[in-house]
């Protein structure tokens, strides 16, 4: 194979990879499959890219749920630090941050598998990740749980 053909092949492959990254970053729409997305990738699967929800949304993302709201300014300091990390796109301190959240509890609005990502909120005094998390949706909405997914509050950012 000559150098020109090899260069052309490499350019095509790089273009396909770039297209795959662009398509992977688009928000997913639709409803969750009947199994709640359990047949998708394991929740522990890591992702090397920042989802759409990892970008700072415009202040005032509407609450798409019937969940109670909490102002971002009323969150614990560690949760506000996690929000800042999400807005920057990381780096995240825990290997299980920025992984798919399956919404198996079905407390958050039902969305397609992969729509939600979860992030650890450090808990002072805990030797492990603790129970606090922020779950971010691909449209920019974020939810806080202090009790490991038993209850959620919509985070009203910019407030």
Point out the residues that are catalytic: 118, 148
The enclosing H or E element of 136 equals strand 133-137
The reply to whether omega before 11 is within 30° of 0 (cis) is no
Q: How far is CA 84 from CA 16, 66, 80, 92, 135, in A?
A: 32, 25, 6, 11, 14
Paired strand residues for 135: 118, 143
State the pairing for strand pair 153-156/69-71: parallel
Q: How far apart are CA 21 and CA 19, in angstroms?
A: 5
Q: How far apart are CA 91 and CA 103, in angstroms?
A: 24
């Amino acid at each position: 194979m000559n150098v020109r053909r090899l260069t052309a092949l490499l350019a095509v492959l790089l273009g396909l990879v770039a297209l795959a990254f662009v398509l992977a970053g688009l928000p997913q729409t639709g409803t969750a499959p009947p199994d709640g997305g359990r047949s998708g990738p394991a929740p522990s699967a890591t992702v090397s890219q920042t989802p759409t929800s990892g970008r700072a949304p415009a202040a005032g993302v509407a609450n798409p749920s019937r969940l109670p709201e909490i102002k971002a300014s009323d969150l614990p300091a560690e949760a506000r630090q996690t929000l800042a990390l999400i807005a920057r796109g990381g780096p995240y301190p825990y290997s299980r941050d920025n992984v798919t959240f399956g919404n198996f509890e079905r407390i958050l609005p039902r969305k397609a598998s992969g729509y939600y990502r979860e992030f650890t909120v450090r808990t002072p005094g805990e030797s492990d990740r603790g129970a606090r998390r922020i779950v971010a949706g691909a449209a920019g909405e974020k939810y806080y749980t202090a009790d490991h997914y038993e209850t959620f509050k919509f985070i009203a950012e910019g407030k």
